[in-house]
C-alpha cells in the first residue's frame, strides 16, 4: 500500500520549517510526504512540524490537498484503494507508516468530519461507542467517560436529560459537538478536524470555535478550514496549501498580516480561491 | 395550464393507487369469501384424510419446515456473500462477474431450479424426494435474492458511518457488526421477507424435489407436500375452489406471522447489548 523512504532527502523548502521555541514540543513531524491517488499526485514533498497543544490551521483553495493531508495523519487514506504514500510522519517518536497498529494510532489521533456523522443510536451509545469497542464494559466507567466527554465538548447541559434518545434528533451544531465528544471519549492526544463548521449556521460555528479554543489546553488540534476568519480566530499556526504543496507555514498572525510569499498574500487577501 | 396538468397527473396517480388497492382487496376478499367457511380448528390442526373432510396440518408443518430450513441456510450464506462482495472484495472484474451471475440467477424460472434439484439433490446426493432436497433447492432459488437485497442495503449505509467508526480506532469487523449491519438491517430484512414470499409461492420446484406425499413428514428426509402444492393439486384434481381458498387464507396468515416475527427478531438484534 505505501512505501516509506527511510533516507529522507534534504528539506529543500526552507519556508516550510518553523523555528523551534524551547517550550513547545513537536507532536507531529512530517517530512517529505508525497501521496498519490493511483497515478495522480495529490501531495508534494510536504514537510511540517505540528506543535503539541497548539491549534494548527490548514488553509488553501479547495482541491489543494488539505483533507488528503489531514487524513494521512490518522491513516484514513488507507481505506482508499490505490493510494501510495512516501515520506515520514512521526508522532511521538514513532513513524506511523512503519507501525502496523492503525488501531492504536486512531485512538491517539481522533477525527471530526466535515458533516456530523453520528451513528443512528442514542447520544449515550454514540459517545460510549469507541470506549466499548476498546473493551470497556463497566457501566460506571462508561457513564463517567460519556459525561466527561460531553462536558468536554460543551454539550452536556443541552443533552444530559436525553442521553438515551436518538442522536440524529439533535440539531446539526449539537450533532457536531457530540461528534467532538465521541472523539474526546477515546482520550486522544491529537484531534483532526476537517472543516467541522462548514455545514453549520453562524451561531453553532461560533460555539465550536469557542470549544476549540478551550480544548487547546488538552489537545493538539489540526483543523482544515476554508474560512480564513476562522483560521485567524482559532489557530496559533497556519499552513497555506496550494496544489498539494505547503507554500507557507508560520504563526497565524504573521500569515494574515505579513506573509512572506506572494501567493499566500493573494489568497489571504481574497484575490483568488 | 400547469395547474391542469398537475391535476391530471394527480388524478392518474390516485387512479393507479386506487386500482392497486382495489385489485388486492378483491383478491383477498374473494379468497376469504370462498374459503372462510372451511376454516376451523380441525381444518388447520387436523390430520389429512384422503377421502376428504380432513385437515391440512401435515402441509402446514411441511410448509414451515421448508421455509425455516431454506432461510436458515440461505440467510447466513447470502449475508456473508454480500458482505464479502460489498465490503471486502477488491472491486474488479471478478466481483462484476459474480454480481452479473447472481443477477441472472434471479431471473431463471424456478422449474429449472426444480429440475436441477431433482437431478442433483434428489438423485446424485441420494436425498430422495424429501423436505431437505426441496429446502436445498429453495436455498439456491432465494440465495441471489438475499445477496442482492443485502448488497443494495449495504450500499445505502453512508460511507461516513464507516469512516466515523474506523476513525475511532475500531476494526473493520467491529465496524461491520456494530454500525454497518445494524444500519443495513431493514434492507436485509426485506430481502428475507421477499424470500419467504418466493418460497411460499413456489410450487413447481417443490413438487419436483419434495414430491406430493400428503402425510405428516416423519423427518426432514421424508417426502411431503407443502400447502401451495396441495392447493395446486386440489384445484387441479378436484376443482375444489373452496378448499384452495381456505388454504390461501392459511398461507396469508403464515406469511403475516413470519413477517412480524422477522421484524421482531431484527429489532431484537438491533437492540442487542454491546
Ligand atoms: N479518493 C480520491 N481519489 C482520487 N483523487 C482524490 C481522492 N480524494 C481527493 N482526490 C484529489 O486530490 C486532490 C486533493 O483533494 P482534497 O484533499 O480533498 O482537497 P481539499 O480538502 O483541499 O479540498 C484533489 O485534486 C482531489 O480531486
Ligand atoms: Mg476537503
DSSP string, A130-142: HHHHTT---HHHH
d(CA B64, CA B117): 19
Q: What is the mean pLDDT of residues B184-199?
A: 90
- Helices and strands of chain A, counted as H and E runs: 10, 10
A60 alpha carbon to ligand 1 midpoint, in Å?
13
d(CA A97, CA A29): 12
A65 alpha carbon to ligand 2 midpoint, in Å?
7
pLDDT at res. A7: 41
Question: How far from the centroid of its chain's Cα atoms is residue A267's Cα?
Answer: 22
* Average pLDDT along chain B: 91
Contacts of B95 in chain A (CB under 8 A): none
The domain spans of chain A are 11-268
Backbone phi, psi, residue B84, to 5°: -60, -50
* CA proximity to A188, closest of A121, A123, A103, A116: A103
* Inter-chain CB proximity A111 and B167 less than 8 Å: yes
> Is B274 part of the contact surface with chain A (CB cutoff 8 Å)?
yes
Residue of A nearest to B270 (CA): A121
* Inter-chain CB proximity A103 and B170 less than 8 Å: yes
Chain A: nearest CA to B167, how far in angstroms?
Answer: 6
> Is A149 part of the contact surface with chain B (CB cutoff 8 Å)?
no
Which one of the ligands is nearest to A273 CA? Answer: 1
Decide whether any atom of ligand 1 lies within 6 Å of the A68 Cβ.
yes
pLDDT at res. A8: 40
Taking 70 as the pLDDT cut, the residues of chain A under it are: 1-23, 272-273
B162-188 pLDDT per residue, tens: 999 999 999 999 999 999 999 998 889
* CA proximity to B179, closest of A22, A116, A121, A65: A121
Q: Give residue for cell 393439486.
A: B233
Which residue in the set B167, B178, B183 is minimally distant from A106, CB to CB? Answer: B167
Q: How confident is the model at residue B270 (pLDDT cuts 50, 70, 90)?
A: low
CA distances from B240 to B29, B35, B234, B235 (A): 18, 10, 6, 5
A42 alpha carbon to ligand 1 midpoint, in Å?
7
Q: How confident is the model at residue B34 (pLDDT cuts 50, 70, 90)?
A: very high
pLDDT at res. A9: 40
A120-144 pLDDT per residue, tens: 999 999 999 999 999 999 999 999 9
pLDDT at res. B220: 92
The answer for A24, left when phi > 0, alpha when psi is -120 to 50, beta otherwise, is beta
Q: What is the ipTM of this complex?
A: 0.87
Q: Which ranges of chain A does DSSP label H, i.e. alpha helix?
A: 66-72, 102-108, 123-133, 139-152, 156-159, 172-184, 202-215, 228-234, 252-257, 262-268
Q: What is the mean pLDDT of residues B45-62?
A: 88
For a ligand 1 pocket test, name from A38, A57, A65 the mutation site with the most ligand atoms within 8 angstroms of its C-beta. A65
pLDDT at res. A23: 64
Contacts of A196 in chain B (CB under 8 A): none
Q: What is the CATH number of domain A11-268?
A: 3.40.50.300
CA distances from B9 to B3, B5, B19, B22 (A): 10, 6, 15, 20
pLDDT at res. B273: 43
Work out the number of other CB atoms within 10 angstroms of the CB of residue A44. 15
* Inter-chain CB proximity A79 and B166 less than 8 Å: yes
- The pairing of strands A94-95 and A83-91 is antiparallel
Return the exposure string of B160-171: e unless at least 16 CB atoms fall within 10 Å of the residue's CB, then b.
ebbbbbbbbbbe
Contacts of A110 in chain B (CB under 8 A): 167-168
* Inter-chain CB proximity B164 and A106 less than 8 Å: no
Helix, strand, or coil here: A168? helix
Cα atoms in the 13 Å half-sphere on the side-chain side of A117: 22
A36 alpha carbon to ligand 1 midpoint, in Å?
10
CATH fold for the domain made of B41-146+186-272: MetI-like fold (1.10.3720)
Contacts of A111 in chain B (CB under 8 A): 167
* CA proximity to B264, closest of B174, B184, B189: B189
Residue of A nearest to B159 (CA): A117
Q: How confident is the model at residue B268 (pLDDT cuts 50, 70, 90)?
A: confident
Ligand 1 atom closest to the CA of A244, numbered from 1: 14
Amino acid at each position: 500500500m505505501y512505501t516509506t523512504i527511510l533516507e529522507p532527502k534534504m528539506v529543500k523548502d526552507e519556508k516550510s520549517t518553523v523555528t523551534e521555541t524551547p517550550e513547545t514540543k513537536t507532536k507531529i513531524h512530517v517530512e517529505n510526504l508525497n501521496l498519490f491517488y493511483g497515478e495522480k499526485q495529490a501531495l508534494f514533498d510536504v514537510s511540517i512540524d505540528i506543535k503539541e497543544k497548539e491549534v494548527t490551521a490548514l488553509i488553501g483553495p479547495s482541491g489543494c490537498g488539505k483533507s488528503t493531508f489531514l487524513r494521512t495523519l490518522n491513516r484514513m487514506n488507507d481505506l482508499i484503494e490505490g493510494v501510495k504514500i512516501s515520506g515520514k510522519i512521526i508522532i511521538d517518536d514513532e513513524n506511523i507508516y512503519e507501525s502496523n497498529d492503525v488501531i492504536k494510532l486512531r485512538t491517539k489521533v481522533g477525527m471530526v468530519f466535515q458533516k456530523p456523522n453520528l451513528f443512528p443510536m442514542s447520544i449515550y451509545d454514540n459517545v460510549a461507542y469507541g470506549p466499548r469497542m476498546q473493551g470497556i464494559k463497566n457501566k460506571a466507567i462508561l457513564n463517567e467517560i460519556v459525561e466527561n466527554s460531553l462536558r468536554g465538548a460543551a454539550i452536556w447541559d443541552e443533552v444530559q436529560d436525553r442521553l438515551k434518545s436518538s442522536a440524529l434528533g439533535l440539531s446539526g451544531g449539537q450533532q457536531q459537538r457530540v461528534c467532538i465528544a465521541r472523539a474526546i471519549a477515546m482520550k486522544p492526544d491529537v484531534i483532526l478536524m476537517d472543516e467541522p463548521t462548514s455545514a453549520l449556521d453562524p451561531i453553532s460555528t461560533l460555539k465550536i470555535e469557542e470549544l476549540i479554543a478551550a480544548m487547546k489546553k488538552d489537545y493538539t488540534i489540526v483543523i482544515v478550514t476554508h474560512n480564513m476568519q476562522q483560521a485567524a480566530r482559532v489557530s496559533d499556526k497556519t499552513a497555506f496549501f496550494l496544489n498539494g504543496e505547503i507554500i507557507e507555514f508560520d504563526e497565524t498572525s504573521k500569515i494574515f498580516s505579513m506573509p512572506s510569499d506572494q501567493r499566500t498574500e493573494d489568497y489571504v487577501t481574497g484575490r483568488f480561491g | 395550464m400547469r395547474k391542469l396538468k398537475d391535476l391530471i397527473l394527480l388524478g392518474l396517480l390516485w387512479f393507479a393507487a386506487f386500482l392497486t388497492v382495489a385489485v388486492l382487496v378483491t383478491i383477498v376478499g374473494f379468497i376469504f369469501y370462498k374459503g372462510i367457511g372451511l376454516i376451523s380448528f380441525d381444518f388447520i390442526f387436523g390430520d389429512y384424510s384422503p377421502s376428504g373432510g380432513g385437515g391440512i396440518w401435515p402441509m402446514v408443518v411441511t410448509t414451515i419446515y421448508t421455509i425455516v430450513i431454506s432461510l436458515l441456510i440461505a440467510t447466513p450464506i447470502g449475508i456473508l456473500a454480500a458482505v464479502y462482495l460489498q465490503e471486502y472484495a477488491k472491486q474488479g472484474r471478478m466481483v462484476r462477474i459474480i454480481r452479473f451471475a447472481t443477477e441472472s440467477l434471479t431471473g431463471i424460472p424456478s422449474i429449472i431450479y426444480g429440475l436441477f434439484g431433482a437431478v442433483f439433490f434428489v438423485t446424485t446426493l441420494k436425498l430422495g424426494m424429501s423436505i431437505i432436497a426441496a429446502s436445498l433447492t429453495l436455498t439456491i432459488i432465494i440465495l441471489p435474492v438475499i445477496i442482492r437485497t443485502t448488497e443494495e442495503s449495504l450500499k445505502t449505509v453512508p460511507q461516513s458511518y464507516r469512516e466515523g467508526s474506523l476513525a475511532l480506532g475500531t476494526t473493520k469487523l467491529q465496524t461491520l457488526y456494530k454500525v454497518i449491519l445494524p444500519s443495513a438491517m431493514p434492507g436485509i430484512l426485506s430481502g428475507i421477507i421477499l424470500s419467504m414470499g418466493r418460497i411460499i409461492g413456489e410450487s413447481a420446484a417443490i413438487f419436483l424435489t419434495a414430491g406430493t406425499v400428503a402425510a405428516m413428514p416423519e423427518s426432514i428426509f421424508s417426502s411431503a407436500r407443502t400447502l401451495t402444492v396441495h392447493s395446486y393439486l386440489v384445484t387441479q384434481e378436484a376443482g375444489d375452489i373452496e378448499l384452495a381458498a381456505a388454504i390461501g387464507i392459511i398461507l396469508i396468515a403464515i406469511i403475516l406471522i413470519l413477517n412480524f416475527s422477522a421484524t421482531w427478531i431484527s429489532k431484537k438484534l438491533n437492540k442487542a447489548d454491546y
